[in-house]
Homo-oligomer: A and B are copies of this chain.
Amino acid sequence: MDKYTELLKNKNISPSIQRVKVLQYLDNNRVHPTVEQIYSGIKGQLPTLSKTTVYNVLQLLEEKKIIKSISGSDGREHYDFCRLPHGHFKCTECGDVYDVEENFVYQGSQMIDGHKINDYNLLFKGICRNCLKKGGENDK
A: which residues have CB within 8 A of B?
63, 69, 71-73, 75, 77, 89, 91-92, 98, 100, 102, 104, 106, 108, 112-129, 132, 139-140
Contacts and interface: CB of A to CB of B under 8 A. Distances in A.
A41 B75 CA distance: 23
Given A115-B98, A123-B121, A71 B72 contact: yes
22 contacts: A71-B71, A89-B113, A89-B115, A91-B115, A98-B113, A98-B115, A100-B112, A102-B108, A104-B122, A113-B129, A115-B124, A115-B132, A116-B127, A116-B128, A116-B132, A117-B125, A118-B125, A118-B127, A120-B122, A120-B123, A122-B122, A123-B123
For the residues of A in contact with B, the DSSP-based class is strand
Q: How many copies make up the complex?
A: 2
Contact of A77 (B73, B114, B115): B73
A140 B108 CA distance: 20
Given A69-B73, A104-B122, A122-B121, A112 B127 contact: no
